[in-house]
Amino acid sequence: MKILFSCLFFWVAELHAQEIQCKQNFIDIAALEQKRFTSSNNNVTKTFASSNYTIYYSRCIWKVDPAVRYIEGKVTSYITASTSTNKITFDLSNSLLVDSILFRNQKIGFTQNANSTLDVQLSATLNANQKDSVTICYKGIPGNTGFGSFIQTIHNNTPVIWTLSEPYGARDWWPCRNGLDDKIDSIDVFIVQPAQYKATSNGLLQSEITAGTTTTTFFKHRYPIASYLVCFSVTNFSVFTNNVQLGTVNLPVVSYVYPESINDFQPYTYKVLDAMQLFHNTFAPYPFIKEKYGHTQFGWGGGMEHQTNTFLVNTDANLMAHELGHQWFGNKITCGSWQDIWLNESFATYCANYYAEKFDTSFFQLILTNHLAQITSLPDGSVIVDDTTNVNRIFSSRLSYNKGAYVLRMLRFTLGDSLFFRGIRQYQNDTTLQYSFARTADFKKNIEQVSGKDLTYFFDQWITGQGYPSFQIQWSQNKNNWAKIKVNETTSHNSVSFFKTPLALTFKNATQQKTIVIQVNSNGAETSADIGFAADTVLIDTEKQLISKNNTSTKINSLTANINDIKLYPNPVHDNLNISLKNPSDKKLTVQIYNSVGQLISQEQFDTLGQDELLQVSFRHFSKGNYLVKLIAGNNILLTSKIVK
């Protein structure tokens, strides 16, 4: 029996988602996203939905045939009024035709506007905090903004439909609030498709009911979700399930893949299980642990982190780790503005890099090299997005993905592993941010609380500031193997006059090497270090901890002028004579004291001197008068000084 797809059908039916790099060829997903966008329509780039309501539950019923670019839908939004109102506005493309809107089982008036909004005129006034619902029935050919929000195409001569709504494309195919200020607390998704196909969406599969030539697939998701992360896809999927142990939970990982690709997906999906355990144990428990994680294959050149159901093109380990990382950074905690997209993309890129650090160190080094080269290929660019109307700028692989991820690496280097990861865990566990939205200030607050440090300078330099430093190192060594180091710095962009940062220097010769970390706080600052051997070379940041370029290291003999920098005080002395000795030329020092007639009355030897010593010699038992103090290192008299008691 053929069932007409109308509002009546819906009532009957109710009864029954970048720069990730591939090890083989370095696929630049963010660049692919940009390329895809340039061929798409970008007339609408922000939400116009009204702010006088929020949505706490949506029941979505969509009828599609993957062979036809068309959608019929019925979306019931359960709302809470924020203020007293009798009119609310949804985001919805005006290429879709609204048939009717129901409010309290009665049809009500509405207006579709040229700016892709839908004004809904309620037949009664809702008071602030009052709950109610509206049901929107619509149909049409969806638009394609952003990266192609509703795609109908083929794979292996078989039709397929998938959605990809980030950043502003959800309105192209369903009525919603398209902004970053409201998450739907839970959703039910019913997909009605020809019976020869399978459908996939967010959350847990509840049922697949076939009636004649049509199957209705029902998914339930009971976690808050942003509108751009709602998804579905329909084609002749093959389905297989892996499981991963996360503490006491054996979580299903469900994959929907094209039949012709199953032999490519099945042998490699285990990689994401390793990444999931790593992230679960490092950052916080998997955010949707009561449901599932999964993959859906699609034909777009990259991946999209749809909540609980990542859409991806292949099983590249770095791609899978990146999209998985989004479940924590982007889905559980979502950026509260596209200006702060780094809280999504940079963190996910860092997750993928961290996975490579733990499981493939050679590839990890290759990632760092390539990311540094790209970040410093231009002298400017901030992590914070300065033009949120430009999707290419929002999803800049150089800035929103790689520079931001490298900034996290630098923050880890600055704070140390313990404080850094504790800060990340506190950010993930912040009850004001969980399953909600965050801005950069929220992350800064959490990392500062854990570290006990004011990191304003760090965020000013690396998040809102532009460019990078170049270091000029001058160094020398004395015969005691103490090194004196002078650091100067130039910056690539005038938004940051000086980058305050720790800096790792590696001293080496043919057989030995030693790395020290110095704090660079100002231009021309000098410091000293006991190297322990005669070095012939100093290398800068060999482990690629910092964003920098064009660094130089030069040995300068004149820097040794301050070797054996000696001060004797107080003079006159009462009880103890202090000897301040910096950068000594020898490990031992002999102190001789002569009386006024030239007789040696005291001799004391100090061994294993350090770089910066404060020694004391007692004058307590000497009579008042004039004395001569000699400081001797080896066969050399370093200083002869008259001291009065």
| Structure-token pair, residue 508 | 């080496």
Q: List, in sequence order, the alpha helices (H) in 376-438.
A: 391-394, 404-415, 417-429
Helix (H, G, I), strand (E, B) or coil at 67: coil
Q: Is the pLDDT of residue 561 over 90?
A: no
Q: Is the pLDDT of residue 518 over 80?
A: yes
Identify the pLDDT of residue 28: 55
What is the C-alpha separation between 428 and 284, in angstroms, rounded?
A: 7
Query: Topology of domain 564-644, per CATH?
Result: Immunoglobulin-like (2.60.40)
Q: Is the pLDDT of residue 21 over 70?
A: no
Identify the pLDDT of residue 609: 74
Percent of the chain with pLDDT over 70: 91
According to DSSP, the β-strands at 214-221 and 204-211 are antiparallel
> Could you give the C-alpha distances from 62 to 143, 191, 594, in angstroms and in order?
16, 5, 100
pLDDT in tens, 614-633: 899 999 999 999 999 999 98
pLDDT in tens, 519-537: 999 999 888 888 999 999 9
CATH class of 469-560: mainly beta
Q: Is the pLDDT of residue 308 over 50?
A: yes
- Residue 19 — pLDDT band, cuts 50, 70, 90? very low
Classify domain 18-39+269-291+315-466 by CATH number: 1.10.390.10
The CB-based long-range contact list for 37-43 (8 Å cut-off, 24+ gap) reads: 37/146, 37/147, 37/391, 37/392, 37/395, 38/392, 40/144, 40/145, 40/146, 40/147, 40/148, 41/143, 41/144, 41/145, 42/145, 42/146, 42/391, 43/145
Identify the pLDDT of residue 40: 40
Identify the pLDDT of residue 587: 76
Report cis status (omega within 30 of 0) of the bond before 469: no
Mean pLDDT, to the nearest integer, of 588-598? 92
Identify the pLDDT of residue 634: 79
Task: List every span in the chain annotated with CATH 2.60.40.1930.
Answer: 564-644
What is the C-alpha separation between 203 and 222, in angstroms, rounded?
A: 7
DSSP 398: I
Identify the pLDDT of residue 558: 62
Helix (H, G, I), strand (E, B) or coil at 287: coil
Q: What's the whole-number average pLDDT of the chain?
A: 91
Task: List every span in the chain annotated with CATH 2.60.40.1730.
Answer: 44-236
Q: Is the pLDDT of residue 347 over 60?
A: yes
Mean pLDDT, to the nearest integer, of 581-591? 81
Helix (H, G, I), strand (E, B) or coil at 568: strand
- CA angle, 309 as apex, 320 and 444 as ends, to 5°? 70
- Residue 30 — pLDDT band, cuts 50, 70, 90? low
**Which of 140-144, 284-288, 464-468, 485-489 has the weakest average pLDDT?**
140-144
**Which of 53-62, 199-208, 363-372, 587-596 has the weakest average pLDDT?**
587-596
CA 17, 35, 355, 409 torsion-angle sign: negative
Identify the pLDDT of residue 611: 66
Q: Residue 246: which H helix or E strand, with range?
A: strand 238-246
Identify the pLDDT of residue 26: 41
Sequence-ordered list of residues with C-beta below 8 angstroms from that of 526, at least 6 positions apart, any chain:
484, 485, 486, 487, 559
Task: List every span in the chain annotated with CATH 1.10.390.10.
Answer: 18-39+269-291+315-466
pLDDT in tens, 452-481: 999 999 999 999 999 999 999 999 988 778
Classify domain 44-236 by CATH number: 2.60.40.1730
- Residue 588 — pLDDT band, cuts 50, 70, 90? confident
Identify the pLDDT of residue 444: 98
Mean pLDDT, to the nearest integer, of 538-557? 96
Q: Is the pLDDT of residue 62 over 90?
A: yes
Q: Is the pLDDT of residue 554 over 50?
A: yes
Angle (deg, nearest 10), helices 317-325 and 270-282: 40
Q: Is the pLDDT of residue 33 over 60?
A: no
